[in-house]
Structure 1
Amino acid sequence: FHGKAFVHWTDQNMRGPGEVRFKEIRHHSATEEYFQVSKSLLSHAADSTQPDDKRILDAGQYTYPFKFHIPHTSPTSFEGQFGFIRYWTKVTIERPWKKDISTKKLFSVICPVDLNQGSSASQPTHNKREKRLCCLCCTSGPIVAEMSLTQKGYVPGETVSINAEIENNSRRKMHSVAVDLLMTTTFHAPHKSRSVTHQVARIKHGSLASGNS
């Protein structure tokens, strides 16, 4: 049984003075082990007269029950652009003087999240921004965006209720209004980190004329 996290990416920079320049590639990587446990499902019996290297399994299907307790601190499985959190089990048939036979199977782990333990997850949140458009020397009124959520924390499958209001006080027409749900993932390596953001969902509305909201 094996569970670990791994990150890796490269940075490329041009180095050297004047025209004598070369490409420098730096690798950034890190590994975090969660568990690595081995169990013997078939071993030499103490009262057997057969040596281990003479043990023979007749043709057929064999079942060997086993179990393993996954630590409660193990994070949820994840696959990202520059890293992953993976869990797998690997079975190996050891054959003396012959090549071992192995098979590997990945499995997913979902770590339960209890937002009730967070002090601010159930609290509402609010934000307000404004932007002014400039045309040559003329400055128009601001575009004001105000958005609020009924709570800060959500779990998968839960509906995110968004209250948003846009005031177009500029002299221009807004062609569309959209709200994006973004996920930012940060990968950490020694002395370096890298973040990737991608769009999870989008709500888009129509145009908004000047002076309207």
Structure 2
Amino acid sequence: MSSITSLSIVLQHDIDEQYQYQPGEIIRGTIYINLAKPTAIREITVKVYSEGNVSWKGQDEQVYQAQEIYVDSSKAIVDTTYDLEPLQLPQGRHEFPLDYILPENVPSSYIGKYGNVTYTMRATAVGANSRDTAISSEPFLVLRRQHIPAIAQQPLAMTASRRMPCACSFGTLDIRVTLDRAGGVPGEDIFLQAELKNQSGRTVTAMQASLVMTTVFRAQSRSTEFRQIVSKKRDEMDVAKGEGRRWTHVRLPLPPYVPESKLEFCDIIELDYLFQFRVEMTGGSEVRLEAPFWVGAQPQGLEVPNSEHVGMKIHKQWTVRGSQALLFPDGEAGGDGSSSAQQQNPAHDYDEGWGVNLVPELRNESEVVTNPLFQQQQTKGARDIPEELLENTKL
């Protein structure tokens, strides 16, 4: 029986048990290991791995698949594999802190019908005795916040007038819908106004406003599309001829964990959003209005705390795939280990025996981490949001 009774990873930024980070942000956490008795530990390693996968079966019964790897980084927290003496740990609980900087050029987490983008941190502990081995993994979310176009901050208005046949006559169905803006940040509410005038001979049975995510999956020079509703407001109310229906200040929430539009840095999955307004009528007919909708970043976020040291000591602890020369701010070269300037300054040695010499693209200390989920609410300029109103009207 293994003397390692438990091995776990606890990460910071825990929101509703969902670890959520921005590209370029530092992941901080702790590895906990519990020992039933004094144990000799040879190695404790941590690996961060991210991949994208796509798979679906076409009409020709052929399965189309594709994969991308975005992060494949590892670090030895304890490594005595080449020493004579392993690390002797007494019975009880032991803690090992860790820091990892996510690369900037990674996509957001995503789970869909035919594909996904996932992130996992895995810890492995190996003792001098082969039975003393344990593995633990912890998934986490990455959400990129791209800035939405300026036009998406403007109101969105849609109108339609349809002639609807009924028996031997025709009548019109007039629809007017307005959104307060054509884009939003996950976790926000979008407010809409809608007005329906029914002068046709058919009865309106329901109105529905939706935010729809359209995903295109690509593999082996083929593609397939899937649509899913991420938020909706439905109103089932009969509106007969000569009647109307009005929505005022209706809230359409944008879920907090949806990826940004386009899913940047992922070549096998592409996302787009649209706003859809549907009017359902007797006889199985419907009128549908659609317009593009953007999901992205708000202009402000949390600053990196000044008390945290985000310097070379953390940057040099992790590696990513690749092997390229790195130009440091002071003009010295790094990466391949051949530069004389680098040899004279060991603080710029990023290899440390990992066999990979390229560090992630890093965000400067002075820059802002735009993370709306962790942003404190601003009290200035807070608006008084009126109550929702859904009512019938007479024409």
TM superposition score category, shorter chain reference: 0.7 to 0.9
1:113 offset after TM fit, Å? 4.1
The one of 144, 156, 174 equivalent to 1:111 is: 144
The one of 168, 171, 174 equivalent to 1:144 is: 174
The one of 134, 150, 171 equivalent to 2:165 is: 134
1:175 offset after TM fit, Å? 2.6
The residue aligned with 1:83 is 115
TM-score, length basis structure 2: 0.44
The one of 11, 30, 36 equivalent to 2:66 is: 30
RMSD: 2.7
- Give the paired residue count: 194
1:39-188 alignment runs, 5 A limit: 39-44=75-80, 50=84, 55=86, 57-58=88-89, 59-94=91-126, 98=130, 101-115=134-148, 118-135=149-166, 138-188=168-218
Report the residue type matching 1:39 in the other structure: K
1:89 offset after TM fit, Å? 0.9
TM-score, length basis structure 1: 0.77
The residue aligned with 2:281 is none
1:43 offset after TM fit, Å? 1.5
Report the residue type matching 1:40 in the other structure: A
Compared CA separation, residues 45 and 190, structure 1 to 2 (3 A): closer
Identity of aligned residues (%): 24
Secondary structure in 2 aligned to 1:40? strand
**Greater displacement, 169-178 / 96-105:** 96-105
Secondary structure in 2 aligned to 1:209? coil
1:12 offset after TM fit, Å? 3.9
Q: Residues 46-92 of structure 1, C-alpha deviation per residue, up to 9 Å, x if partnerless?
A: 8x5x16xxx36444433322211012333332222211111111122
Note if contact 2:166-2:202 (Cα within 8 Å) is conserved in structure 1.
no
Note if contact 1:87-1:106 (Cα within 8 Å) is conserved in structure 2.
yes
Note if contact 1:181-1:202 (Cα within 8 Å) is conserved in structure 2.
no
Report the residue type matching 2:200 in the other structure: S
Tell me how far apart the structure 2 counterparts of residues 178 and 12 of structure 1 sit (CA, whole Å).
32
Note if contact 2:54-2:219 (Cα within 8 Å) is conserved in structure 1.
yes
Larger Rg: 1
Tell me how far apart the structure 2 counterparts of residues 158 and 134 of structure 1 sit (CA, whole Å).
40
Report the residue type matching 1:11 in the other structure: G
Note if contact 2:50-2:117 (Cα within 8 Å) is conserved in structure 1.
yes
Secondary structure in 2 aligned to 1:121? helix
Q: Residues 144-166 of structure 1, C-alpha deviation per residue, up to 9 Å, x if partnerless?
A: 22212121111122221112222
Secondary structure in 2 aligned to 1:64? strand
1:173 offset after TM fit, Å? 2.2
1:97 offset after TM fit, Å? 9.4
Note if contact 1:6-1:84 (Cα within 8 Å) is conserved in structure 2.
yes
Compared CA separation, residues 32 and 139, structure 1 to 2 (3 A): farther
Gaps of 5+ in 2: 1-47, 245-395
1:114 offset after TM fit, Å? 3.6
Tell me how far apart the structure 1 counterparts of residues 67 and 187 of structure 2 sit (CA, whole Å).
31
Report the residue type matching 2:114 in the other structure: F
Report the residue type matching 1:34 in the other structure: Y
The residue aligned with 2:269 is none
1:12-31 alignment runs, 5 A limit: 12-13=59-60, 25-31=61-67
Tell me how far apart the structure 2 counterparts of residues 212 and 56 of structure 1 sit (CA, whole Å).
80
Tell me how far apart the structure 2 counterparts of residues 78 and 31 of structure 1 sit (CA, whole Å).
14
**Greater displacement, 143-152 / 198-207:** 198-207
Tell me how far apart the structure 1 counterparts of residues 223 and 78 of structure 2 sit (CA, whole Å).
44
Note if contact 2:166-2:201 (Cα within 8 Å) is conserved in structure 1.
no
Secondary structure in 1 aligned to 2:151? coil
